[in-house]
Amino acid sequence: GGATAAAMEGVRKAIAEARFEEVAGICEDIETEVPEIDHIAEQLYAAEIVGHLYNDNLNEARFCWKRTPDAVKQTATMQMVHRLLQCLWSKAYREFHPAIAAFQWADPFGGLVKALNEKIVSKIEAIIEQAYSIISVRDFASFLALSPEQAVTVAERKGWSVDDKKEMIQIRRKDKESTERIPDNSLEQMTKYIVHLDPS
């Protein structure tokens, strides 16, 4: 028992120190090296899947879900983790926000979920920046689960123009170099993103 509890300490430490990209790998090591993981299985598999989502390794996250014992899959935490995985797998970004808002996970694990949320919000902003030159404040707010007022603040902070009525946002793209760092920015991927972003 002591060895198992100590094993999870490495995961807690990585999250507490904001080494989020290391979480999935630490969990995989525990999975393969610690003989008895039954009483930490829920925390272990949940942290491993969210860690993979943070690293944008959706395939690894799915494989981890598939090998999670059925009894563990039924827990409330694992069901919430699976919902996040489903939203990101299907690029259902509007559904991602309520799913992550419903996710109450005790610290330090809550820090990992918060980091994932911030990363996904940045990704959605980057997708919108590439896909649109003009977007309504209402749509922009709904993509990011913000109030219209908050959406205007975000747009202005990014140096985008908002009309006097606070209804439309004109997007100013950053230079080419900065957009090239965004993964999945091939034309085909962008088209898929726009389909998922655009509810019409």
Beta strands 168-170 and 161-162, pairing class: antiparallel
- Rounded to an integer, what distance in angstroms lies between the CA atom of residue 182 and that of residue 45? 28
Q: Highest mean pLDDT range out of 20-29, 38-47, 94-103?
A: 20-29
Categorize the per-residue pLDDT at 42 as very low, low, confident or very high, splitting at 50, 70 and 90: very high
pLDDT beyond 90 at 66: yes
Categorize the per-residue pLDDT at 36 as very low, low, confident or very high, splitting at 50, 70 and 90: confident
Mean local confidence (pLDDT), 101-127: 89
Please name the amino acid found at residue 153. T
Q: Which residue has the higher pLDDT, 107 or 150?
A: 150
Among 84, 95, 26, 28, residue whose Cα is nearest residue 56:
84
pLDDT beyond 50 at 181: no
pLDDT at 35: 81
**High-pLDDT (> 70) share of the chain, %:** 84
pLDDT beyond 80 at 6: no
Full strand arrangement of the beta sheet holding 161-162: 134-136, 168-170, 161-162
pLDDT beyond 70 at 3: no
Q: Which residue has the higher pLDDT, 49 or 186?
A: 49
| Chain mean pLDDT for the chain | 86
Three-state secondary structure call for residue 127: helix
